[in-house]
Amino acid sequence: MTADGYRKGRNEDALNREFGDHPRIGLVERTALRSQARALDVAEAAGDADRVSRVNAVYLDLRRAAGLVAGARVDAGDSFAELMAELGRPTTPVGHPEKP
């Protein structure tokens, strides 16, 4: 806790730890993310579910823009994965239909 009584919440604290793994994120992006994480902590502490939802949507958009993706990561352009997905799809049989 700082001299002015400010204590980091769980979201801001987690974000600060995550910044260590992402040194390429600039100061302006860090400030915007930290501010939104703080807003989320305040909304959670107030118990305002509507505000939590709205603030969280913006926070996740900022994280996505900064490359801090929440959830499963999908690598675009993975040709091997695309090939395997294509081979796994059901197809119609090729050739002539049997005569009755």
Q: Which residue did the predictor score with more confidence, 6 or 1?
A: 6
**Predicted local distance difference test score (pLDDT) of residue 77:** 59
pLDDT surpasses 60 at 31: yes
53 within domain boundaries: yes
**Predicted local distance difference test score (pLDDT) of residue 22:** 87
Separation of alpha carbons 56 and 35, rounded Å:
12
pLDDT surpasses 90 at 3: no
Sorted by sequence, the CB contacts under 8 Å of residue 42 that are 6+ apart come out as: 9
**Predicted local distance difference test score (pLDDT) of residue 4:** 55
84 within domain boundaries: no
Q: Quote the domain boundaries for residue 21.
A: 1-70
15 within domain boundaries: yes
85 within domain boundaries: no
93 within domain boundaries: no
pLDDT surpasses 80 at 5: no
54 within domain boundaries: yes
pTM value surpassing 0.85: no
- Number of domains the chain is built from: 1
